Structure 1
């Protein structure tokens, strides 16, 4: 079961999942037809003083490789037991991982605690949409949230850039809620 949290305790695991296209919906088993997980990157953050760097970032290039996908799923399932997962659009990334685990026959039974920079960053979005006839703030894209929090505009980067931007957004959001 996925438990969304609005505050963090350490250690945490910052993740980013790269896919062949943006998922729109999931079937009842959490799988998406036609979506391929291409790569994943994770960074174990031990304390408030840590940050993603070469020594604590692990990259999994898993396109067309069930063996590497299995290695990734088994690795991250161990972190699910002891860490809060930090991601931009955490629910989708975790559903993709759980769907892949199910396809590979890997059982992940632990509750998963997640901090979503997309959902927690919504108050800092400058874009609005209408939901149920009400004008509400839209979930921000990672680069939009990063710009709104830091004042620095960035283009679409690679998976490492996204991981670091997610972490910086998380740190800004953490400071703003203290």
Structure 2
């Protein structure tokens, strides 16, 4: 869906990249050095800004209601992927942001209890430093995920790990 949107963007906006070297380096070898180079390139930043503006146009109905629906679906997928990334990297700030934004999605799709508890979690995390001084520092040092192996990025959420451990214990 992203590729289709990008193709349509290039067709409609007559995008012309003056210096494609930074983007080509990113596509050939995606690493931190090439990412930093691309993010310093003015033509790349201009392209990204125009693309985000085009995404907003599509969300507002520029390509019709079906395209707006799929654009919202893409945005929801990005949110879920960011939440998973926050757990895999023990990023409490991103975890907090994603959980806060997901409450309205659950409410819209008839997950009222999930929405209620995510709203509570949002308020709890927002006020954490006031209610539990020092807890935010501990969480930012890596307390939202558990590593069961030495494989990088194979972290699991604490609640999921506890549930799986207790369920295994109860079955044995």
The structure with more helix, counted as a fraction of residues: 2
Considering only CA atoms, is the larger Rg found in Structure 1 or Structure 2? 2
The structure with more strand, counted as a fraction of residues: 1
After TM superposition, is the score higher than 0.5? no
TM-score of Structure 1 vs Structure 2, range by shorter chain = under 0.3
TM-score of the aligned structures, taking structure 1 as reference length: 0.23
TM-score of the aligned structures, taking structure 2 as reference length: 0.24
Which of the pair has the greater relative contact order for Cα pairs under 8 Å at 6+ separation?
1
